Amino acid sequence: MELFETIRLGDLLDVYGQVLTNKKREMLSMYVFDNMSYQEIAENLGISKPAVLDSIRVASVKLEDMESKLGFLKFRQSLQKIVSTSKNIKQDLQKFLKE
């Protein structure tokens, strides 16, 4: 998985993770945040590698589906841009006022 896909999946997990079963959320978290391979996850959880692969695929599709329906991640990213811009504006204004 590419870096940007992994980051997006982590963001989706952060926003919508509670809709997943505990097991799927745990597997996806191990994959995304702990950078574990499918085999490592399978060994840690005592299940087969294909079961891990399937669970992560199903969980990813569900999270993408939630985002397409609700758009909370896109909204959160928009808010983050506004806050970031506002911080820069505030800093610029403070510099201007000191001059």
Q: Would you kindly state where each structural domain of the chain is located, as residue ranges?
A: 3-70
Distance, CA of 27 to chain centre: 13
Which architecture does CATH list for 3-70? Orthogonal Bundle (1.10)
As a whole number of angstroms, the distance between CA 99 and CA 93 comes to 10
Query: Concatenated DSSP letters for 6-66?
Result: HHHHHHHHHHHGGGS-HHHHHHHHHHHTS---HHHHHHHHTS-HHHHHHHHHHHHHHHHHH
Residue-level pLDDT, tens digit, the chain, 99 residues: 789 999 999 999 999 999 999 999 999 999 999 999 999 999 999 999 999 999 999 999 999 999 999 999 999 988 888 777 777 777 776 777 776
pLDDT for the residue 82:
78
pLDDT for the residue 62:
97
pLDDT for the residue 24:
97
Residue 48 in contact with residue 95, Cβ under 8 Å? no
